[in-house]
Structure 1
Amino acid sequence: MSDAAGGRWTAGDQPVSIGSMTLYPVPESVSRARRWFRKFMDPYELNCSMDECLVMISELVTNAILYGEAEEPWRVRVDWWRVGESLRVDVHNPGFPAQVRMRCAAADEAHGRGLCLVNALADSWSAGPSRFGGTMVSFLVDGAWKP
């Protein structure tokens, strides 16, 4: 299930912060985000695919870097949460929420599949305003923790 309209999940459980990172808006930050997420999440022994989570983080951080806009220096922020038995990852940038859209790239296009991948791998995703200003794009993986 996807929610590209900017809705929020209401799982009934309060989100518990597991970690966060702040990244410079440069291409090297994508691999850094993957490394740090894996490092911080390995001890939790997730009940979901770490590789799929890393693909989704890579895509959202890449999009945040490509589409973030600000007149002053800015950063990409990544937060991850436990919501009941689910894992939620939020990626923030200073871009405009209305510009987030899933598109279907042609077979010969090198870009344009990020949100399609997130849509295929996540149980749900959402885009909307960030509490820091700008945009937040999130994904949710159900059953990431054992009950």
Structure 2
Amino acid sequence: MGNIPAGRNGPSDSAPLGAMTLHPLPESVPLARRWFRKFIAPYDPACSVDDCALMISELVTNAIVYGRADETWVVRVEWFRRGASLRVDVHNPGFPASVRMRRPDANDAHGRGLLLVDALAESWYAGPSRFGGTLVSFEMADAWPS
């Protein structure tokens, strides 16, 4: 797992380029992909928007599957410019300690989301969310000229 520091340039200290709040329902996954593509387009990132949309799909799916709360809850997705990089954060009310990369067997239908993120992103991070619950982030390097 790569390390994305939450320091001065982290999401809590800068305004997002875009954000969405999704209901924890399966139909939110394709909605997240469409909205991200629409709202990132004006910023014209040099990184693969398709790769980002795929990773967002995986992380939103995980957030929906593993998010837990006693009251009504949402999945939050935000994206930020950090220097030349694009950072995407996905928040849910799950437990940060339960985020782990699995090594599924070839016949397993699930369990490849974080493997995919690990393969496509420059780095990724899982830990506590500033909203409570879990944050899973990824960064794409060289999204914009520095």
Give the TM-score normalised by the residue count of structure 2.
0.93
1:37-95 per-position Cα deviation (integer Å, ceiling 9, x unaligned): 00001111110111100110000000000000001110000010000010000000000
1:104 matched to 2:83: no
Q: In structure 1, what is the equivalent of residue 51 of structure 2?
A: 52
- Please give the secondary structure, in 1, of the residue aligned with 2:59: helix
**Residues 16, 83 of structure 1: 8 Å contact kept:** no
Q: 1:124 to 1:15 in 2, by over 3 A?
A: farther
1:8 matched to 2:26: no
Query: What CA distance in whole angstroms lies between the structure 2 residues aligned with 1:80 and 1:52?
Result: 14
Q: Which runs of 5+ in 1 are unaligned?
A: none
Larger RCO (CA under 8 A, 6+ residues apart)? 1
Q: In structure 2, what is the equivalent of residue 138 of structure 1?
A: 137
Q: 1:11 to 1:132 in 2, by over 3 A?
A: closer
- Please give the secondary structure, in 1, of the residue aligned with 2:36: helix
**Residues 129, 135 of structure 1: 8 Å contact kept:** yes
Query: What CA distance in whole angstroms lies between the structure 1 residues aligned with 2:87 and 2:21?
Result: 17
Q: In structure 2, what is the equivalent of residue 114 of structure 1?
A: 113
Deviation at 1:146, TM superposition (A): 1.9
**Residues 91, 138 of structure 1: 8 Å contact kept:** yes
Query: What CA distance in whole angstroms lies between the structure 1 residues aligned with 2:143 and 2:43?
Result: 10
Q: In structure 2, what is the equivalent of residue 124 of structure 1?
A: 123
Q: In structure 2, what is the equivalent of residue 71 of structure 1?
A: 70
Give the TM-score normalised by the residue count of structure 1.
0.92
**Residues 94, 133 of structure 1: 8 Å contact kept:** yes
Q: In structure 2, what is the equivalent of residue 35 of structure 1?
A: 34
Deviation at 1:112, TM superposition (A): 0.1
- Most deviating of 13-22 and 71-80: 13-22
**Residues 11, 83 of structure 1: 8 Å contact kept:** no
Deviation at 1:105, TM superposition (A): 0.7
- Please give the secondary structure, in 1, of the residue aligned with 2:2: coil
Query: What CA distance in whole angstroms lies between the structure 1 residues aligned with 2:9 and 2:20?
Result: 26
Q: 1:19 to 1:97 in 2, by over 3 A?
A: same
